[in-house]
Structure 1
Amino acid sequence: MATSSRQRPPGFPRPPAWLLLVAPATIFLALLFVLPGLRILSFSVMQERPSAGESPVWTLDHYEKLFTQPLYRSIMTRTFKIAFMVTIVNLLVSYPIALGIVRIRNSWIRAFLVFAVISPLLTSIIVRTYGWMVILSDRGPVNRFMMWLGVIDEPYRMLYNELGVTIALVQVFVPFMVLSLVSAIQTIDPSLEHAAASLRANRLQTFLKVTLPLSAPGIVTGSVLVFILTLGSFVTPVLLGSARTMMAAVLIRDQILGLFVWSFPAAVTTVLLVATLVLLLIYGRIVRRWSM
């Protein structure tokens, strides 16, 4: 019998099906993230402006400048501090909302709460930030309400400082934290809480001993997501911040568009990228440990 013309030659085994499925996404990610990331890394260790016709000079001066000069070190410290504060406040605000969404039995009320949480995502972040500029201004509703209560005698400055940036970023990233927490709280078996109540545990004890530990995966997921997103925030720090509250993304913009340099902002970008990858690796290890 003649050999079929479609028979694969020896030495060329058919690739597995999963490889054919993964290959397009892998190639896309490589072109979109890996190659630009390597390019940024190469810029970060390159002399700022090599002479024409000369090969680039490799140096770590940009990293030394970033971590030794007080101005840039304070900007990086402030970026991570604001990211930490936004994450903590976001968690404290979002957890009761997520718990209420899961525990409310009325489907209409639950749907309304979910829509109220995710509806800000349908609005431009620029519009939301301008809204916060009105709310937090000296003559805005927040200052007027506090003066009406007698808490303050004159308007409290909440714009162009870390407080205003933090408040706005908390609101911007609440949907991501709430959705992460809802997905985790929904997986908790209600019988576990009933069992704790049958053992004479009050609501606070049940929450601290049962609900909170079992919702830890959602807490970690939401916290990592919010922290990473805050590290790269740009629009809100630009509109609500100032030169004294500059964050890393604003520094990168000013260096590239203002000073027309590439290597130093590439070093700043690399530091943020490494911090993001470290957080993702820690998150992956925690998730694997929980899944065992």
Structure 2
Amino acid sequence: MHDTQLEVQTLHKVPSANALVKIPGLKWMLLIIPLLYVTFLLYLSLLSLLKLSVFDQSGFTWGYMERIFTGTLYLKVLWTTVKTAFLVTVFTLVFGYPVAYLLVFLESPRWKQTVMSTVMITLWISLLVRTFTWTIILQDQGIINSLLMNMGIIEQPVKLLYNTTGVVIGMTHILLPYMILSLYSVMEGIDKRLIQAAQGMGAKPAKAFCQVFLPLSLPGVISGSLIVFVMGLGYYITPALLGGQSNMMIAKLIQENIEVTLNWNLAAALALVLLVTTLVILAIAYWVSRLSPMLKEGV
């Protein structure tokens, strides 16, 4: 009994979390330490790299930026990057929306857990393993071409590797879980009684979906599309292995300028173009979301 009283008295003497935060200067210390850590490791190093895009041994110059926007190769790579990221976003949305919808309306907890585990396993498997798997599947003697030729659908192997098709297939498979999880997080919060009410008032299931459920799920569509598109813009490993030199994306071009040609200034200029492109797209998405109150939660 005496020991119990001592423990209670000791617990009362230990300051709570709220009491610690009220100590003058402590909350600022808790904020400043991680802020300095992130600033030193991320922002200072990023600014040091981007500085090379407009400064070289001779001083300030726009030569590297002019070289990017006047060179056919760089404009082609930039267009390929944006096009590929857009296609991947569209396909992940087309394939991910039904999966997220199924997860929301599955009544069996066992089946729901099975589908969710299947989605999560894709994230747990190594990126290199998934990419090399698609290299085996998409090659001329791979499973897809062999199956189509054995069925008599094609006579010659279809070129699925080292082009835009292979990159889109591989990136869609890798980024699909991000779209599904973004959609599911929004769909799960939609009141299903709204759909039942719409159907009770005479609306057919398709009309109730288009006029009730789909508009309410748009924040998930916007957030998932932004995540996939932005990640797709800077993707490196999958396009490098499945696209080859003929379908180069900007991340691969930056890597070659750093490690092969040792042109750090041009690599920094390319990185700056990629950063500005991403920020402009995010700004446009944010501006569009402000026009519709329903989309404000998505961005």
**Which TM bucket (shorter chain)?**
0.7 to 0.9
Paired position in structure 1 for 2:128:
126
Aligned-residue offset at 1:31? 1.8
Residue 95 of structure 1 deviates from its aligned partner by 0.5
Q: Can you give the 5+ residue segments of structure 2 that lack an aligned partner in the other structure?
A: 1-22
Query: What is aligned with 2:31?
Result: 22
In the TM superposition, 1:71-90 aligns within 5 A as 71-90=73-92
User: Which of 152, 160, 167 is matched with 1:150 structurally?
Assistant: 152
The question of 1:60 aligning with 2:62 is answered yes
For 1:222, the aligned partner's letter is G
- Structure 1 residues 95, 38: closer, same or farther in 2, change over 3 A? same
1:160 aligns with 2:169: no
Quote the Cα distance in structure 2 between the aligned partners of 1:21 and 1:190. Answer: 42
Whether 1:192 aligns to 2:201 is no
2:46 corresponding residue in structure 1: 37
Q: How far 1:220 moved relative to its partner?
A: 0.9
Within a 5 Å distance, the mapping from 1:247-286 to structure 2 comes to: 247-284=249-286, 286=289
The equivalent position to 2:112 in structure 1, one of 92, 110, 113, is: 110
What do residues 111-149 of structure 1 show as CA deviations (whole Å, max 9, x unaligned)? 111111111221211111110011111121211222344
- Overall identity of the aligned pairs, in %: 35
Deviation at 1:237, TM superposition (A): 1.2
More off after superposition, 260-269 vs 24-33: 24-33
- What's the CA shift string for 1:139-178, capped at 9, x where partnerless? 2121122234433222101001010011000000011111
What amino acid does structure 2 have at the position aligned with 1:214?
L
Match of 2:215 in 1: 213
Amino acid paired to 2:278: T
Per the normalisation by structure 1, the TM-score is 0.87
- The CA RMSD measured in Å over matched residues stands at 2.0
Q: 1:40·1:270 contact (CA, 8 Å) conserved in 2?
A: no
Quick one: distance in 1 between partners of 2:265 and 2:100? 43
**What is the number of residues matched between the two proteins?**
271
The whole-number CA distance in structure 2 between the counterparts of 1:280 and 1:28 is 26
Change (3 A) 1:66 1:90: same
Aligned to 2:230: 228
Cα distance in 2 for residues equivalent to 1:117 and 1:197:
31
Equivalent-residue separation in structure 1 for 2:254 and 2:152 (angstroms): 42
Q: How has the CA–CA distance of structure 1 residues 211 and 24 changed in structure 2, closer, same or farther, with 3 Å as cutoff?
A: farther
- Residue segments in structure 1 that go unaligned for 5+ positions in a row: 1-12, 51-55
Classify the secondary structure of the residue corresponding to 2:36.
helix
For residues 37 and 285 of structure 2, the distance between their equivalents in structure 1, rounded to whole angstroms, comes to: 24
CA contact (8 A) 1:165 1:240 kept: yes
- Corresponding residue SS for 2:59: coil
| Structure 1 match to 2:142 | 140
Q: Deviations over 1:1-39 (max 9, x none)?
A: xxxxxxxxxxxx94484x444333322331232112211
Structure 1 stretch displaced more, 201-210 or 278-287:
278-287
Q: Render the CA deviation track for 1:83-126: whole Å, top value 9, x for unaligned.
A: 00000011101111111111101111111111111112212111
What's the CA shift for 1:45? 0.3
Q: 8 Å contact 1:221–1:283 — kept in the other structure?
A: no
Q: Are the counterparts in 2 of residues 232 and 248 from structure 1 also a CA contact under 8 Å? A: yes
SS in 2 for 1:44: coil
Structural mapping, 1:89-100, within 5 Å: 89-100=91-102
Residue identity matched to 2:199: A
